[in-house]
Amino acid sequence: MTSAVLYDDVSSAMASTPPRPPKQPLHISISEQLKDHIEAGQYEPGEKLPSEFDLGGAFGVSRTTIRRAIANLMKQGLVTTQQGKGSFVSDRHKISFSMANPLMQFDIALKHQGYVGRIQSLRFQHTHPPIDVMKKLELRDGDPPVYLQEKIIYADESPIAIEVDYFPDAIGERLSEQLASRFTYSTLETQGIKLHAAKVSLESIPASYELSEQLLVPLGMPLLVFNFVAYQEKRIPVVCGKVLSRSDWTCYTSHIEI
Amino acid sequence: MTSAVLYDDVSSAMASTPPRPPKQPLHISISEQLKDHIEAGQYEPGEKLPSEFDLGGAFGVSRTTIRRAIANLMKQGLVTTQQGKGSFVSDRHKISFSMANPLMQFDIALKHQGYVGRIQSLRFQHTHPPIDVMKKLELRDGDPPVYLQEKIIYADESPIAIEVDYFPDAIGERLSEQLASRFTYSTLETQGIKLHAAKVSLESIPASYELSEQLLVPLGMPLLVFNFVAYQEKRIPVVCGKVLSRSDWTCYTSHIEI
DNA sequence: TAGTGGTCTAGACCACACG
DNA sequence: GTGTGGTCTAGACCACTAC
C-alpha cells in the first residue's frame, strides 16, 4: 500500500512522462524513467545521481531493484558507477578514424583530434600463427613462424583500443626494435615499406571479461573490431591483424566513389 | 565452511582450469568457468545448460549468484535464456555486407548468403528533419520537409536490422509507393536513380530498451551503426540515414586501394 | 502438475572514498 | 566514521513450457 502510494507520488514528482504499460518489469520502468530524465537534461553529463538508497526510497522499491535499473543504464552506456562515490551520467565524444588508411595512422588521427596517443606493448613473440592468419598472410605449412605483437593504444592516458598484429617472418625481424614503442604504420613507414592495398572488415562484439579489464569497460560493452590484411606492391601481404576499440570512444569513416 | 568445500569439489569436478585469483567475485569466477567449458566444447552450440537450481547446487552458491553468472555469459553473447525452458549455448555465423555498395543491396547480399530477405515498414512520414539531416542533405530552412522512412530488415524471419532513411522532398514523392515494400537500393534503381558517391561511417552502440525489443536482443547488446549519405551525379544528395544491425548477425567488409 | 527462468524483497557484509 | 557502491544469501511469487 504505502509503497504504491509512494511510487505514484514519486513518479509524478520525478517525471511528467506518460504512464508506461504496466506489463513492464519495475526495473525497466525505473531505468526508462531515469533515462528520460537524463536525456531531458535534468541530470547533466558528469552529474551524480542520487544514491541507490535514496532512489530506492524515492521510487518505493528495494535497493536491489534500483541496482538493476542502474545496471540497465550502464548496459546502455548512459551512466557509470564508482565504488564509494556514486553513479554518474556519462559524457564523451567519439574519435574518428579513416578506413582509407588501414593500419592506420592512429597516432596522427589522435593528434589531429587533440589527444596524446601512446602505445604500450603487451607481447612480442615469434610464434606459429592460427590457421586463419596463415591464410591471410598466404603462408604454407613449412614457412617460418610469424611475429605476433599485441599492444594497448592510449588516448590521453585512457586505454581505447587493443591491437593484435601478425607480421611475416622477414618483416617482423626488421621491425622488432621499433614495434615495441611505435605505432604500426609509422614503423612500417620509417622502414620504407609502402602499403598498396588492404582488405578490411568491421564488426562489433561484446567485451569479454579479459578485454573488459584491459580496456576498463563493463563486461559486455560493445567493442568495434577492425580486421585487416595489408599488402605492399605485387600483392604481397605485409601484416594482418585486428584492432579492438572501445565503441564509446571510436568510429570509422570512409568516402566512397562508385 | 560447507560451501567452501563444495565449491572446491565442484570446481575440480567441473573444470581442470587452474584456480583463479581469489580477488574475483564469485559470479565472475563461475561465469568464466562456464565460459571455459563452453569454449572447450563441453557444451555444444544449442545445447542446454543445467538449470539454475542445479548449477547453484553444483557450485554451492545461491540461485541469485548463478543468475548473475549466466547474465555475464549473456552479456558476452555466449548464451541465451528462454523462460520455462532453460539456458542455451549460442550459435550463429555472420552475414557480411559490402561497404562499397552503400545503401546497399541488402537483399542481394542476403540472397547470396542463403537467406530470404524481407522488410517491414514501420513509418513513412513527410516531416521536418533534425538539423544533422538538414546538413547532410544540404537543405536550407525554407526548403520543404523530407520523407522519413523507418523499416525492419529480416533475414529468414529474424529481425537483423533497422534502417532509417531520409529522402529529399522531390525524391521521396516519387518513391513513396515502392519504399513501403522494397529495399532502398532496389527502389532507387528501378526509378533510374544512380548513386555516384557516398560518405559513410561505422560505429557501435549498446541496444536501448526500445531497440532491444524491436530486434529481439538483450538490453545493451552491441549494435552496428552504418551511417551514410549517398549522392547522385553532381554531388546532389539522394538519401541519408543509418542502418542499426545486430552485431551477432552482421559485419561490413571493404577492399581498399591506396 | 512439475520444472524452468523472471522479478522482487529484506537484510547482511565487504571495499572504497571522503572528511 | 559515515556514506557509497559491490557482492551474496534465502526465500517468495509469477509466467511460461512441457508432459
Digit-coded pLDDT (tens) for A230-253: 998 889 999 999 999 999 999 999
Can you tell me which residue has the cell 513513412? B124
Neighbours of A177 (CB within 10 A): 9
Helix axes A63-75, A26-39, angle to 10 degrees: 50
Nearest nucleotide to the CA of B88, by C1', is C5
Neighbours of B207 (CB within 10 A): 23
Task: Determine the Cα–Cα distance for residues B209 and A256; give it in Å rounded to an integer.
Answer: 33
Q: Extract the C-alpha cell encoding B207.
A: 541496444
In this prediction the pTM is 0.87
The most confident of A90-104, A129-143, A169-183, A190-204, by mean pLDDT:
A129-143
Given phi > 0 = left and psi -120 to 50 = alpha, else beta, which region is A250? beta
Task: Determine the Cα–Cα distance for residues A223 and A243; give it in Å rounded to an integer.
Answer: 10
Nearest residue on chain B to A212, alpha-carbon basis: B76
Q: A75 and B220: CB-CB below 8 Å? A: yes
Give pLDDT, residue A104.
60
In this complex, is the C-beta atom of A145 within 8 Å of any C-beta atom belonging to chain B? Answer: no
Contacts of residue A195 in chain B, CB cutoff 8 Å? 258
Closest CA to A165 of A119, A210, A233, A111: A119
Contacts of residue B94 in chain A, CB cutoff 8 Å? 203
Q: A203 and B223: CB-CB below 8 Å? A: no
Provide the positions of strand C that have an atom within 7 A of a protein CB.
3-12, 15-18
Contacts of residue B200 in chain A, CB cutoff 8 Å? 253-256
Nearest nucleotide to the CA of B83, by C1', is C5
Q: What is the pLDDT of residues A105-125, one digit of tens each?
A: 678 888 889 999 888 889 888
Task: Determine the Cα–Cα distance for residues B214 and B162; give it in Å rounded to an integer.
Answer: 8
Q: Extract the C-alpha cell encoding B182.
A: 522494397
In this complex, is the C-beta atom of A39 within 8 Å of any C-beta atom belonging to chain B? Answer: no
Neighbours of A242 (CB within 10 A): 18
Q: Extract the C-alpha cell encoding B206.
A: 549498446
Given phi > 0 = left and psi -120 to 50 = alpha, else beta, which region is A156? left
Q: Do residues A222 and A194 make contact, with C-beta atoms less than 8 angstroms apart?
A: no
Q: Do residues B75 and B229 make contact, with C-beta atoms less than 8 angstroms apart?
A: no
Give pLDDT, residue B16.
34
- The residues, ordered by sequence, that sit 6+ positions from A96 with a Cβ below 8 Å of its Cβ are A109, A113, A250, A251, A252, A253, B201
What is the mean predicted confidence (pLDDT) over A24-43?
91
Residues 193-232, chain A, touching B (beta carbon < 8 A): 195-209, 219-224
CA distance B156 to chain A (A): 21
Mode of pairing for the β-strands spanning A95-98 and A250-257: parallel
CA distance A71 to chain B (A): 10
Contacts of residue B237 in chain A, CB cutoff 8 Å? none
Contacts of residue B31 in chain A, CB cutoff 8 Å? 209
Task: Determine the Cα–Cα distance for residues B70 and B68; give it in Å rounded to an integer.
Answer: 5
CA distance A214 to chain B (A): 15
Task: Give the DSSP letter string of B129-170.
Answer: PPHHHHHHTT--TTSPPEEEEEEEEEETTEEEEEEEEEE-HH
Closest CA to A154 of A216, A88, A218, A92: A216
pLDDT at residue A4 above 80? no
Q: Which residue is nearest to nucleotide C4 (CA to C1')?
A: B84
Helix axes B52-59, B2-14, angle to 10 degrees: 110
- What confidence category does residue A23 fall into, taking pLDDT thresholds of 50, 70 and 90? low
Using 70 as the pLDDT threshold, list the residues of chain B that sit under it. Answer: 1-23, 101-105, 179-181
Q: A204 and B221: CB-CB below 8 Å? A: no
pLDDT at residue A9 above 50? no
Task: Determine the Cα–Cα distance for residues A193 and A174; give it in Å rounded to an integer.
Answer: 11
Nearest residue on chain A to B198, alpha-carbon basis: A256
Q: Could you tell me what percent of chain A has a pLDDT over 70?
A: 88
pLDDT at residue A92 above 90? no
Q: Residue B147's beta-bridge partner residues?
A: B126, B167
Alpha helices in A113-253 (DSSP H): 131-136, 169-179, 184-190, 209-214
* B28 sits in which H/E element: helix B26-39
Task: Give the DSSP letter string of A121-153.
Answer: EEEEEEEPPPHHHHHHTT--TTSPPEEEEEEEE
Residues 63-82, chain A, touching B (beta carbon < 8 A): 72, 74-77
Give pLDDT, residue A65.
93
Q: Residue B86's beta-bridge partner residues?
A: B82
Q: Extract the C-alpha cell encoding B200.
A: 559513410
Mode of pairing for the β-strands spanning B79-82 and B86-89: antiparallel
Task: Determine the Cα–Cα distance for residues A240 and A197; give it in Å rounded to an integer.
Answer: 12
Q: Do residues A52 and A46 make contact, with C-beta atoms less than 8 angstroms apart?
A: no
